[in-house]
Amino acid sequence: MRRSLAVVAALLLLAGCTQTPVAGPDPGPATAAAPSPSLPSGTATRPAPAPSEEVPAVPTTRATLPPGQGPAAPARFRSGAIGVDLPVVAVGVADDGQMELPRTVQEVGWYSYGPRPGDREGTTVLAGHVDTRADGLGPFVRLRDLRRGDELILTDARGRNRRYLVTAVEDVEKSELSLERLFRRDGAPELRVVTCGGPFSTRTGYRDNLVVSARPS
């Protein structure tokens, strides 16, 4: 059984989109120190060696990757098929538990507690406003025009291009969106790009999320 995620109410707030669209998993160890382990009652422990006992030297290795190794954070999102070319900024979870988003339609947010492009498992999640009161409609309104097989490109902070092919473009009602599927941390690598969509109400905002799914090419 897939490990269940502790899901926060990390949802995308768009102007006029008062029902928040997507939620992210609890950042967990990325934002909080792990508690010190304790032994259950009655567990025996090996006594420390006496001062005269010779203890063999054990080699140790740092668990962190050397600088420059491992996937870099995404820095730019492009789609030639729909004419979108936007900078990507790292976002997390706001004080109110919602996923942070850039203030402008001219930037895309990357959920920085999740997988990076190039990671071997899980979904890299990007999200942006379809519109704001200040900006009006933004480039993400064109996500709906993507078709299966269209190419998406993520350029990382080191200038490397990661290419993806669109596999699905879906309108999903917010009440039916699977957060565990969207913010998956295991399984085959995938890119998800999310904005608001569907019918709009001045009282409740957009009904749906538009979710673009893509696989590495």
Whether 65 maps to a domain, the answer reads: no
Q: Cα Rg for the chain, rounded, in angstroms?
A: 21
Residue 24 lies in a domain: no
Those residues of the chain that have pLDDT short of 50 are: 1-49, 51, 55-65
CATH of the domain at 95: 2.40.260.10
Please, where are the H alpha helices in the chain?
Answer: 179-182
pLDDT number for residue 68 = 54
The pLDDT of residue 67: 52
End-to-end Cα separation, the chain, in angstroms: 28
Q: Which pLDDT does position 95 carry in this prediction?
A: 80
Alpha-carbon distance of 72 to 37, in angstroms, equals 32
Instruction: Report pLDDT for 33.
Output: 33
Task: Give whole-number Cα distances, 52 to 49, 55, 194, in Å.
Answer: 8, 9, 64
DSSP 104: S
Predicted local distance difference test score (pLDDT) of residue 61? 42
Are the CB atoms for 89 and 110 separated by under 8 Å? yes
What's the confidence (pLDDT) of residue 90?
Answer: 97
Domain count, the chain: 1
Length of the chain counted residue by residue: 217
Residue 20 lies in a domain: no
197 assigned to some structural domain:
yes
Residue 92 lies in a domain: yes
Q: What is the rounded distance in angstroms from the CA atom of residue 129 to the CA atom of residue 17? A: 9
Q: What is the pTM of this model?
A: 0.72
In a domain, 150, yes or no: yes
| Domain with 95 in it | 72-216
Beta bridge partners of residue 142, listed in sequence order:
none
